[in-house]
Every structure is written in C-alpha cells, then in structure tokens.
C-alpha cells in the first residue's frame, strides 16, 4: 500500500510518537500549523470519514478519547484546542488515511 500513514504505523517511516496502542497512533505533524499539532490515526486503514462503518465505531470513539488525553498531556486542555478532520479533496485532505488534527498552544483564528 502506498499510504504514508500506513508506512508510519509499520515503522518504515519514522515519526515522533506521542501515543500508541493496538488500535491508535498519534504523532507530531511534520508541518505544524500551531505550536501543538499532533495527528491521531487509527491503525486500520480507513481512507476518509465517508468510509467509516459501524464496525469502526469503537476505534472512532477511541480516537476522541486519545485526543482528550493528549490535550491534557500536551497542556492545551484548559486553554483550548481544535480537532479537525478533513474529508476528501475539497476539504484539503492530502493523506487518504482518516486522521484527526489536534491543534493548540496559541489563540487560533476563528473558522469561517
């Protein structure tokens, strides 16, 4: 498979991991858009949010649980953070492996 995130999961591409268990991996973004910018991904290859099935409900819940945990550990839970999921090209999705961006560490510009 030619998915960069799958290669990170396999260990073929190095990453600066901040969390890992059997189902989820989180690591620092290599092109951060904020002082805190981590990516939280399922280890199962799911291309987009549109491809999530009922079978994936547990791992989706776990992605958000990991996001809450990391927000605390990275010191942005109290000041505020943003979770972003882009779905398909018009949203700006570049890597077609479902992922959440956790952004914080500064006052973020409002969306819209």
Report the catalytic residues: 99
Q: Going by C-beta distance under 8 Å and a sequence separation of 6 or more, which residues neighbour residue 70?
A: 18, 19, 26, 38, 40, 102
Q: What number of H helices and E strands is found in the chain?
A: 2, 5
Residue 25 burial (10 A CB sphere; 0-12, 13-18, 19+): buried
Q: How far is CA 82 from CA 1, 23, 111, in A?
A: 30, 22, 10
86 touches 96 (CB < 8 A): no
């Amino acid at each position: 498979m030619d998915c960069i995130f799958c290669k990170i999961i396999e260990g073929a591409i190095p990453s600066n991991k901040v969390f890992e268990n059997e189902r989820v991996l989180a690591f620092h973004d290599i092109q951060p858009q904020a002082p805190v910018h981590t990516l939280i991904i399922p280890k199962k290859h799911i291309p987009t949010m549109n491809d999530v099935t009922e079978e994936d409900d547990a791992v989706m819940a776990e992605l958000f649980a990991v996001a809450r945990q990391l927000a605390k550990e990275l010191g942005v839970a109290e000041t505020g953070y943003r979770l972003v999921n882009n779905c398909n090209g018009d949203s700006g999705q570049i890597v077609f492996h479902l992922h959440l961006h956790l952004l914080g560490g500064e006052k973020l510009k409002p969306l819209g």
